[in-house]
Structure 1
Amino acid sequence: MVFMPVLASTGSTDVNFGSRIKEFRLENGLKVILIEDKRTDNVISSIWYKVGSSYETSGITGISHLLEHMMFKATKSTKSGEFSAEIKKIGGSENAFTGRDFTGYYQKIDKQYLLMCLKYEADRMSNLQFNLDELKSEREVVKEERRLRTEDQPFSIVFEKIGLSILGMTGYGIPIIGTMDDLTNINISDLDYWYKRFYNPSNATLIIAGNYDEIETIEAIKNFFGPIGTIESNLNKYKYPQFDISYEKIIVNERLPNSTLILSFIKPKFTDLPRKKAYAIDLLFEVLDGSFSSRFTENIVDKKIALNTFISHDLYAKEKNIISIGGTPRKNVTLKQLEEALLYEINSIIKNGLGDNELSDTKSRIISKNIYRFDSIFTQAMIVGRLEAKNISWEILDSYIKDIDSIEDKDIIEAAEYIMSKSMQVTVVQPKK
């Protein structure tokens, strides 16, 4: 089981989902997306619930991920671990994951076992049974995950602190894994509420990708999922505080050999930006730090100003989110000098524009990076699922290359101006002495 913090940009020269997808809803609200791909005998069965850490609040952080673990336990008609045992027996694979906007479950199996998976998945959507001993056990498993993946990883701790400082314990500022105190205190009543509130058909998308019999599969989906009702729950059980964004400088001491600088900016959610601007920002970051020939590499790393540079952001974010730009300076370079060098490259685009073929080369690089992604039925299900969970239709994948090709040099300049117009938060990570 994993939690997934970000979604990378996607594209292909020939996705053509429109010609291969069948999409419909059951009367109870369950959205179904079938992606036909007959090049394999396998099929991916996946279900996505629109709930993740951004739905949580102080006191119950980590509950989405903890519930993900509990979903492998007993239901009214199955034993704890039975579904997983059956997948293993038939030679299939499975996993689950929690992100900021979604919790997902998938199985990769031979097409002859698809109906079995659909039956089990429908069962645990509505019949999960919570057991105190199992909760205590899984709670410790998740707390150990936090120790290993966050508390023992310096940069994980740093980015958690940045999120909490800028966004607070709201939205994308909430740690996906949760806090230790909240994980310790979440009880069965909390889990039962979360399960009933979010694990119902009207809040879920079922995605099947690969080789399947369409008529048989649709009939099975209707039979297994159709009878499940949608439960209305009290939406105000927990308080969701307002938080004023803070841009105060952060100084963190961590177990690192070198100092690191991180410059953070707030970016609106994907659907609040014109699509062209959102993609132009993504292309700008590719120009700056997307390859060995990017500006940061050639003008900062290769010129011995920094050991490395990075840019992190969520293109398709469902809520306001953080762009992080940074790097590790060389020993003879100050953090202030590195900051100036990073910002100089962005301002240089504003002042001087792009070089000959710089934009066309960047576009080609993005396309070539993703050209084979959609050969995988797993990738097809994952990309479509993540988009749908963020309330973004899969249809944008079919128009992605056209949208990218429409971006001009002036759009990249405007994207750079947009970033530089935003308030900036500075984080300094210093080696522990």
Structure 2
Amino acid sequence: MTKTNAVLALIPALMAVPALAQERGAVTEFTLDNGMQVLVRQDHRAPVVVSQVWYRVGSSYESRGETGLSHLFEHMMFKGTERYPEGRFSEIISREGGRENAFTGRDFSAYFEIMAADRLPVALELEADRMANLQISDEALATERQVVLEERRLRTEDRPEGRFGERYAAIAHPGTGYAHPIIGWADDIAALDKADLQGWYQQWYTPSNATLVVAGDVDPQAVHDLAREYFGPIPGRPVPSVADPDNLDPPGERRLIYRDDQTRVAQLRMGYEVPSLATAEHARDPYALMMLASVLDGGEGARLAEKLVRGSGVAAAAGAGYNGMTRLDTEFSLFGVPADGDIEAVENGLREAVAQLRREPVSPEELERARSQLLADHLFELDSVFYQAMQVGMLETTGAGWETLAAFEDNIRALTAEDLQAAAQRYLQPERLTVGIMQPAEGGEQE
């Protein structure tokens, strides 16, 4: 059972007992009687507060025929309630000197406000109202559907990189919701109707499937009292179980050759299926994968820039990355752009860089440079109150747990070169690899 499912399974019991608060590190946790989780991170450096409501639903919860529903519903959440008609929500936040917006990911949908600290009740009242009383009309749906289809056209259909990315994801993540785009497939978006949106609202937009994250110049008990005042009266509903596929054995190397008549420069994308913070069986592996990505692509002194760009010169650009904040297995990714059109030379260079990670431990100097850079980036980002809230919400919603944030520095400091090599040997294998190549269509020019 995943952590999310375990929490949801406890909802009936939580509703029968008084809410409890527990402090661990810089975050204070509460649970309302209706199952809503409240996480508060104090930062008193400025009289500012960030409030975010995270729902455990995103594009990976969708199946073919309903792709894009989470993202389209995000648009609908701004269409108003009886008490606050369309436009009134944003007008109030703006009048109070705040900012608001929303975002949808593969594993979550989230809505946020940034306000003066004493204006937090305004944000919570508005969010609670649309959690319980959203109005969905055919007219609003028709408008927002066209907005989303236009967004899809501009970001994906009219861009070679967008078309390539969708095709790559489809073969890189077979059998999971990560195989389809967050924005959805155009034919699914066009077919969604009012009943689909109302059903989505009833299924997922309930306190028992939501986490309120508040960060900034606040008192945890005062936040708890406000959350109980505004969200407490909303009944918690049972949430459907999610039929995620079990982690499959590595399916074998997959390869995509995509020719596009609008691209003039070949691009290479490679990705190894690897665990996330939520799915890892070995606790150190996600942190080792972060460090491996930094060894390859952590600044000008990193291996890919040193060997493929400035060294052999086969690549005009090359990089690597790893994002462990997903609820399913994720990807250790690499990319490259050839300097002279020789995509094979770039692929060979990236494969050799991975093989070296498997073959031998990184040097002490590389290990410390990667460690220092990760810690510096992390501490710099924590300077933002919004980023603090984002990290807490994303870690909790994807199943890693908000406590992971406080343990990040210790976990990075504890890593050895042997940990990195073991993770590379365990996961950076051809059986886990997807290779995607985008190149000009036959007869097209190559720069």
TM-score, structure 2 as length reference: 0.87
CA contact (8 A) 2:395 2:404 kept: no
Contact 2:171–2:434, Cα closer than 8 Å, also in 1 = no
Cα distance in 2 for residues equivalent to 1:361 and 1:243: 33
SS in 1 for 2:115: strand
Report the Cα distance in structure 2 between the residues aligned to 1:414 and 1:343, rounded to whole angstroms: 17
Amino acid at match of 1:321: T
1:125 aligns with 2:131: yes
SS of the residue 1:380 aligns to: helix
Deviates more, 1:44-53 or 1:363-372: 363-372
Contact preservation (8 Å) 1:51, 1:198: yes
Q: Distance in 2 between matches of 1:110 and 1:321?
A: 37
Alignment partners' CA distance in 2, 1:234 and 1:34: 27
Residue 262 (str. 1) matches residue 305 (str. 2): no
Q: Which of 191, 194, 198 is the matching residue for 1:185?
A: 191
CA distance in 2, matches of 1:246, 1:71: 41
- Where does 1:85-96 land on structure 2 (aligned, <5 Å)? 85-96=91-102
Deviation at 1:176, TM superposition (A): 0.4
Q: CA deviation at 1:235?
A: 6.0
Aligned twin of 1:42: 48
Superposition pairs for residues 25-174 of structure 1, below 5 Å? Answer: 25-168=31-174, 170-174=176-180
Per-residue deviation, 1:191: 0.6
Residue 242 of structure 1: how far off its partner (Å):
9.8
> Helix, strand or coil for the counterpart of 1:278?
helix
Equivalent residue for 1:6? Answer: none
C-alpha separation in 1, matches of 2:327 and 2:336: 27
SS state at 2:337 partner: strand
| Worse-matched range after superposition: 247-256 or 364-373 | 247-256
Question: One-letter code of the match for 2:111?
Answer: Y
Partner Cα distance (2:76, 2:129) in 1: 14
- Sort the Cα spacing of 1:349 and 1:111 in 2 relative to 1 into closer, same or farther, 3 A: closer
SS at match of 1:275: coil
SS at match of 2:284: helix
Q: Distance in 1 between matches of 2:195 and 2:253?
A: 37
TM score, norm. by length of structure 1: 0.90
Identify the residue that residue 20 of structure 2 maps to in structure 1.
none
Which residue among 387, 400, 403 is the counterpart of 1:395? 403
| Residues 204 and 19 of structure 1, relative CA distance in 2, 3 Å threshold | same
Between the two proteins, what is the percent identity of the paired residues? 35
Please state how far the C-alpha of 1:119 moved relative to its aligned partner: 0.8
Instruction: Give 1:345 shift.
Output: 1.6
Q: Which of the pair has the greater relative contact order for Cα pairs under 8 Å at 6+ separation? A: 1
Give distance in 2, aligned partners of 1:48 and 1:230: 15
The amino acid of 2:48's aligned partner reads: N
State the Cα distance separating 1:325 from its structure 2 match.
1.5
CA distance in 1, matches of 2:186, 2:51: 33
How far did 1:213 drift?
Answer: 4.6
Aligned residues: 414
**How large is the RMSD of aligned CA atoms in angstroms?**
2.2
Partner of 1:367: 375
- List per-residue Cα deviations over 1:262-314 (Å, max 9, x = no partner): 22221234333212111111111110112111111101110211001122432
> Hey, what's the Cα distance between the residues in 2 that align with 1:163 and 1:384?
27
Alpha-carbon distance change, 349 to 31 in structure 1, aligned in 2, over 3 angstroms: same
Aligned to 1:302: 310
- Structure 2 alignment gaps of length 5 or more: 1-22
Moved over 4 A (4+): 233-236, 239-247
Following the alignment from structure 2 to structure 1, what is the Cα–Cα distance between the partners of residues 136 and 187?
A: 21
* 1:284-433 to 2 correspondences below 5 Å: 284-303=292-311, 304-331=313-340, 334-423=342-431, 424-432=433-441, 433=444
Note the C-alpha offset of 1:32: 0.2
Of the structure 1 ranges 219-228 and 199-208, higher mean CA displacement relative to structure 2 is found in 219-228
**d(CA) in 2 for partners of 1:91, 1:234:** 38
